[in-house]
């Protein structure tokens, strides 16, 4: 069960994890790519959060709609 958890959490086998050690080292190019992807992700997430906040404000400003039968 522990081996399965290691594989699920790391995406690799326990032997590969032991070979690499505890730390994963990135080259400067890989680090720069990850940084650019993270910045792009953060900007997109900020746009989505802004839209959600605006929609919540609009929904809170509208009076409740009651169904009449």
pLDDT tens figures, 38-50: 999 999 999 999 9
Question: Per the domain annotation, does 14 fall within a domain?
Answer: no
DSSP annotation string for 1-69: -HHHHHHHHHSS-HHHHHHH-S-----HHHHHHHHHHHHHHHHHHHHHHHHHHHHHHHHHHSPP-----
Predicted pLDDT at 12: 53
Domain boundaries, position 47: 25-63
pLDDT of residue 25: 79
Give the total number of structural domains in the chain. Answer: 1
Question: Could you tell me if residue 30 is inside a domain?
Answer: yes
């Amino acid at each position: 069960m522990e081996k399965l958890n290691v594989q699920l959490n790391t995406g690799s086998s326990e032997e590969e994890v032991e070979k690499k050690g505890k730390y994963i080292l990135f080259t400067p190019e890989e680090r720069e790519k990850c940084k650019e992807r993270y910045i792009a992700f953060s900007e997109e997430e900020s746009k989505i959060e802004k839209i959600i906040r605006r929609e919540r404000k609009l929904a809170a400003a509208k009076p409740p709609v009651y169904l009449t039968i």
